[in-house]
C-alpha cells in the first residue's frame, strides 16, 4: 500500500471540482458536504483547471 488512502473518492473529488469551477459552492461548503477540512478539498482541486476566484467586490459608500 502506498501512503494514506485519499479522504475523497474519485467521484467526490470530481464533484468537488465541478461545484468549485461552476461557482456553485465555496471550498468551505464543499468541505462541509464531505465532512473534511478545507485543506483536503484544496488538495483534490486540479490547479491546472481551476480558475482563480476574484475577491468579492465591496460597495464603496460616500458619506
For residues 11 and 61, the model is more confident at: 11
Q: How many domains does the chain have?
A: 1
Which residues span the domain enclosing 38?
1-52
C-alpha angle 40/44/49, rounded to 5°?
Answer: 140
Backbone angles phi, psi at 27, to 5 degrees: -60, -40
The DSSP letter of residue 7 is S
Q: Is residue 10 part of a domain?
A: yes
Q: Is residue 57 part of a domain?
A: no
Q: Is residue 20 part of a domain?
A: yes
User: Using 50, 70 and 90 to split pLDDT, how confident is the model at 10?
Assistant: very high
For residue range 36-53, what is the model confidence (pLDDT) as tens digits? 999 999 998 876 665 555
User: Using 50, 70 and 90 to split pLDDT, how confident is the model at 26?
Assistant: very high
User: Per-residue DSSP letters for 26-62?
Assistant: -HHHHHHHHT--HHHHHHHS-TTTPPPPPPPP-----
Supply the pTM of this predicted model: 0.66
- Decide if pLDDT at 17 tops 80: yes
Amino acid at each position: 500500500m502506498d501512503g494514506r488512502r485519499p479522504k475523497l473518492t474519485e467521484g467526490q473529488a470530481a464533484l468537488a471540482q465541478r461545484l468549485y469551477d461552476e461557482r456553485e459552492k465555496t471550498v468551505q461548503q464543499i468541505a462541509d458536504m464531505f465532512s473534511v477540512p478545507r485543506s483536503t478539498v484544496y488538495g483534490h482541486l486540479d490547479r491546472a483547471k481551476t480558475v482563480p476566484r476574484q475577491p468579492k467586490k465591496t460597495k464603496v459608500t460616500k458619506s
